[in-house]
Every structure is written in structure tokens, then in C-alpha cells.
Amino acid sequence: MCTSNGVKDLTNKLILDRRVAVIISPGFGAGFATWNRDYFEDLLFDKQLVLAIGSADKEAFDKRIEEIYPDAYYHFEELQVQWVPEGELFYADEYDGFESIVHQSDMRRA
């Protein structure tokens, strides 16, 4: 479970209109954050990666990955930025490489 304000370095998140950018890979095959457990939360929120995805700048994305997350596995073309309300609990779910965001409001109580 993550919170959209629970990352160690809050300056490394992109927050707009009280929503936090979260990177996922919604295509089947390989997850992004879920398959790179060593960097899980950092990859979910990395502001420079979010900006590279938003501008379709694969070169900047690859450079950032090489510098900070050298062992990370990803397919740039499948990455997507989704927005989570600031402070909301959520988790990145993965099935067969397909990642999705599950918001606290979507979780059923046992």
C-alpha cells in the first residue's frame, strides 16, 4: 500500500492541482514499478521520468534510468502517467505484467 504523499523525497514528485503523478505500465508483458521492486516507490513517482513520458522523450527517460535505476526493466512505449489525489491510499496492482492503480475508494472491506 502506498500513499501519494508517502515517498521519502517529496520534491521528486510531480503534483498538479492536488493530484500526484504515478507511472504504471498498463500493457501485458512486464510491469514497471511492480517488476522493479528494488526501486518500487521511487519509480512510481519520479518527477523526471514523468516529465520524460509526458513529452515522449525516450532519450531523457533512458538517461535518468541509467543514472538512478541502473537495473530497472521497462518498455518506454507502454508507460503511462496516471493521477492520484494527493494523500489518497492506493496500490499498484499487477497481473501478467499489466499494472493498474487501485484507489482506496475502490477497495472492498472484508
Alpha-carbon gap, residue 7 to 109, rounded angstroms: 25
Helix (H), strand (E) at residue 3: strand 2-3
Encode pLDDT of 12-55 as tens digits.
899 999 999 999 988 777 778 887 878 778 888 999 999 999 99
Encode pLDDT of 51-70 as tens digits.
999 999 999 999 999 999 98
Alpha-carbon gap, residue 100 to 94, rounded angstroms: 6
Closest CA to 42 of 85, 72, 19: 72
What per-residue confidence (pLDDT) applies to 79? 92
Is 79 within 8 Å of 53 (Cβ atoms)? yes
Q: How many residues does the chain have?
A: 110
Residue type, 57: D
